[in-house]
Amino acid sequence: MVNDFADARPVYIIDALDRIVFVNPAWSRFVAPARDQAPDLNGVIGRPIWNRIPDGVVRQLWELLYSRVRAIGGSVFVPMRVDRADERRLIDIELSPLSDGSIRHVCEPVWCEARPAVALLDPCYPRDARSLRSCMWCRRIQVRLGAWEEIEDAQQTLAIPADSTLPRLEPAACSSCKQSLLKTFPARVA
Ligand SMILES: [Zn+2]
């Protein structure tokens, strides 16, 4: 854990009961909603990881990955977009089983780029009763059944004006991310 603490990559560990038992400073900076914002770590350590993961299909897919990592005893890599309003970010999360049923998550940054802020991704923006499905892995938005687009394109396609309120984003999994997650198995360790 000493090395994990100093790691420049965000690292967090859950125990066998899926409770967060360790996060490093890089993780705290990474999950802050804005750059240079002081992270709030109250209520992170000791709490179930499920407090941070939406119910439904998103949780089911994570549960599936965790059960495979624990049962097979090998690592998997999960690519994930973790955008901020003004920044696109792609990471690979490596899930590795530890001997006691814990799982270490190491977030390897793949790329990031700045962009004009997207109000739909601003957590402070007022929301109304409408909702849009947002894939928790690729961050695309469902524009109609079976069609998912990058958030800027979806705003155009759906003609969402910069209004005083916006639809809220409903966590979901698009079919291509779902398919690739269902096919994600750890390599068996000899
Ligand atoms: Zn997706």
Please report the domains of the chain, with CATH numbers, ordered by start residue.
2-116 (3.30.450.20), 119-172 (no CATH)
- The alpha carbon of 116 is separated from its chain's Cα centroid by a whole number of angstroms, namely 21
Whole-prediction pTM value? 0.91
Ligand 1 centre from 141 Cα, in Å? 8
Q: What percent of the chain has pLDDT over 70?
A: 95
Q: Which residues of 126-156 are buried (b: 16+ CB within 10 A; e: fewer)?
A: eeeeeebbbbbbbbbbbbeeeebbbbeebbe
Reported as a single tens digit per residue, the pLDDT across 110-138 is 999 999 999 999 888 999 999 999 999 99
pLDDT of residue 190 exceeding 60: no
- How many angstroms separate the CA atoms of 83 and 80, rounded? 9
* Cβ atoms of 107 and 10 closer than 8 Å: yes
* Cβ atoms of 59 and 181 closer than 8 Å: no
Ligand 1 centre from 23 Cα, in Å? 26
- How many angstroms separate the CA atoms of 142 and 12, rounded? 30
Ligand 1 centre from 60 Cα, in Å? 15
- 175-182 and 57-72 helices, crossing angle to 10°: 20
- pLDDT value, residue 123: 86
